[in-house]
Structure 1
Amino acid sequence: MNMKKTVSLMLGVVLSVSFIAAQSVTEGIKYLNYEFKKKTATDVLKKAYDANSKDGQTIYWYGQALLANGDVAGAKALYQQALQGGVNDAWVIVGMANIDMIGGADINAVKQKFEQAITMSTETKGKNKGKVNAGVINAIGRANIDAASKTKDIPYAIDKMKLGAAADLTNADILVNLGVAYLKLGGENGGEAVKAFQEAATRDPKNAEPKYRMGRIYYSQNNAELFLPLFSDAIAADANFPPVYYTLYDYYKDKDVNKAKDNLEKFIASADKDPNNDLLYADYLFRAGKYNESLAKAKEIETSFGTANVPRLNIIYAYDYDRLGDSVQAKAYAEKFFAAATQDNIQPSDYEFAVKVFSKFPGNEATSVSYIEKALSNDTLTADRIKYTKLAADIWGKAQNYPEQFKWLSKSDSLKTPLSNTDFFYWIDAAIKAKDTAEATRISNIYIQQFPDQIYGYRFKAQSAVLTDVDTTKGTALPALEQYITFLSKDSIKNQRLISSQFYYMASYYADKAKDFPKALEVVNRLLVYYPDDKFGLQVKPILEKAIAQQSKQPASKTGGSGNPKK
């Protein structure tokens, strides 16, 4: 074999290896985007790395796979080893900056590394001179939207990704990450996120992620009319995309058991083998009402993998035992679950379930409410927060701890706009039971202002006023009673008992406490105008008239200039 053929053969082998490695990297990236194929992604990218351990792009993506599996130390060691081994590559620099962000490094120092990587990867010659590397910029975007990063600069990442997307009109991944960045920025940026996802779908019609991401926006709004077609489009683009099946299972699990099962089976088939995915089948069996079968599946998983490797196993046990009527077992397994579970493993419904279980045991109110407080700290959805605070109020109300009930109703009502008639009723009722008459009066005034045609605002205000002056010595309740009478007078026949009661209180105050018999008689006369046959009025009127007559016959006290009686 001559030298030319030998060189040609060697070059062919090198090119073949590089091509295969590049294919593997592309495949590994796809599996990373599948979210539930992280192990497969890591295996594929590890093979690519072993075949080409000096390639910066391969090193970067293998490190990203390690990060996706929670191996921050492994990714850091990989990037450090590459830099120390002379691979001074833009991709590796971005990977190392990503590690710095996870560790909480100063964002300005990190951005210096990003700028260095952009400069290093920008074309310096030919017709593409000055053109940035969209792949490197996409990696910068990934670092800033990484949930694990303690420091980040989303606006900076958006500016860079827009630049990268304009430089490479075929790169769909950068537009997906741009859309995610807009969503993380929040506010009014949802429209920009949708635009980015739509452009990504146009660039790569066989990529399911853009359609799925758009669907997730409407899924968060519970808009099935929009998200279901988008999820169908995602499946049409790539029938092996696991997240869409997982989300559809989540949607149907409480609505349609058969559709939930179908999507769950497709999810398990398309995702990596994982005992946590198998546990979803136990969850499905529970939701299908097959509690004993669900327990059997959970025990099978525990035997094969152990509870520590399947964090939600104990809560599945708790759900099943609760439905089977074994509250003691349900409580025990719920306690085990919450004692060991990280926040990532807890679903909002778990807190609600825990409250339900612990509330069955008297004396556990504080424990139950502690779970509600945890739920509130991790759930920003207003509707859920209202539900949780109302749940806490109900717990304390049943325990007749009215100050706590009032406190939680106040939290609940502060989240609502506007408050309903019913909201006001229970809120003020709790305030009165808690003996917080100042708040009861304040809220009653708001209630009257917003619902002037409802009786309860006036009733509660009068009740609170009477409670404020328990022994009726102050007379401070009278204005509220007069306001109540004015409202009740709209239908004096229907409200006879209530109107009479207010007059009785007022007459008693003037006669017994203030000793103002003329004023007491005035009140009685008003009562008799309303109800001429009122027994109390007819009985008390002559007594008051006699008292007034006797009072008028008494000589006035003689006083000196100092106001003291003369001797």
Structure 2
Amino acid sequence: MKNSVSPEKFKTSGLFDKPNGFSRIMLAFAFIAISTFTFAQSPEVRSALRLIDIEQPSKGISELEKLADKSSSNQYYLGLGYLRTGNKEKALQAFEKGISMNEKDGLNHAGKGHVKLLDKNATEAKLHFDKALSVSKSKDANVLKAVAEGYMADTKFILDAINLLNKAKTINGSDPEVHILLGDAYLKQNNGGESVSSYERAGSADPKNGKAFYKVAKVYQRSKNTDMVMEYLNKAVQADPQYAPAYKELGEAYYLNKQADKAVEAYEKYLPITENAGQARYQYAFFLFMAKRYDKANEIFKEVINSPNASPTALKFYAYSLIEQGKGNEARPVLEQYFQKVKPEEIQASDYAYYGKLLVDLKEDSLANDAFAKSLDLDSAQFDVLQLQATTFMKRKKYVEAAETTKQLMSIRNQPAAQDYWNLGQAYYFSDQFSAADSAFSKVVEMQGEKTPLPVYLFAARAKANVDSTMTTGLAKPMYDTFLSKALQDPEKNKKSIIEAYEYLGAYSIHKEGNVVQAKSYYDKILQLDPAHSGAKEFMRELNKPAPAQKGR
């Protein structure tokens, strides 16, 4: 660090030759000067400006207002506080009052120039900046810094700002704010490397300065370097455990990394600090929803949606959270309110999908199909929605629609699954498209082999029986035989289907082979399983009728 008077000059006068009383006094003076240079403002002003940085603006402004009348410099910092909280009018009043208190204090001239440049009045701004530099003879690091911060209000003057800040740095290189402003200026030039270096110098000058590390994280955020973003955000909160913006960014970064629990934890530290929770309350509820902490999420969503400025998105996720809790009756009016409030072009496929699933749970299958259709219009490649759509059509006995939806599902898979062919076969079978059903069931058998479930053999046999309804070829016999070989392993469980197979085989024996003895054996087996079976009993009665007497005998 360079002082305005070189230590070497003192050495030549002999004052540093031995530790006499006068030399000790001068050393003490030098340390006081260094301390003054290191932090540009008084501890009270620094504390107040920090309150603004950590999202407690009303507290920060209140503290600055208490300090303002003590000096013209404090009037400038009050004005700066107003600027940082977006109040140009009050800032200008503070700067003008500071000039009236001490016309030779360059800080307030710099502040007034800052306001004029924000008002796009570059000519008048420059007059005030020049006045600030003139009264301070361009030797006051605080004034140089104030003018530079003013120039940064317009990117056309970034080079002027950088030159002034570099000059301020030669006077007081230990002021962290000088380095932070330099970092900001370099960032406006898209010079990330110099920006990071400046912010890191600020952090070295004041290891408790959370803002410096936070700003490094924001630079890395531009290049999507997630690891470095997380590292510096954590450094920020380690340096200053009250630095609210870093907790907020940490929450969002953890969410993007699919670490919902950590996102919740970061926001639970952020919300008690910030004065303006606002949208952050909703964001916190959303993180709770993502972390599957639905009870707590719903408490906050309930507060949020009662606000006059409640966003449609808050309504949506409140409904989602209720649905996840199984509170469909509560969720339905909330979700329907969302659809009424949101712009139609902002509705997502997932919104209609959630609504459809809710309606299925409420046994509103027809409306569910309508909702799924709207979802698929927005995104036709949703596996789960297509599956639910087909299943719901089947429940409603809309078999043709179920078949079409299942085919759509199969078309977007890399390789259709055996379950797809089974569902397709069922839809075809119940819509009387027996040949198509036969093909689908046969595909399942081909894919599953020995692991083919018993119902597949049964429906495959039924489809074939319907294709060959006159039993011209006996198409279904081999499949019924296969079915029986497996079903007879548990005859009690499969009794009804076994009887169906015996009925077919009995009819086949008579109509195709003319083998009454074989047919009788099948009907005997039916009666063993079900002695009251009317079809088998009728067959036996017909079989046992005496032959009619011949005439003439």
Using the size of structure 1 for normalisation, the TM-score is 0.49
Structure with bigger RCO (C-alpha 8 Å, 6+ apart): 2
Larger radius of gyration: 2
Using the size of structure 2 for normalisation, the TM-score is 0.50
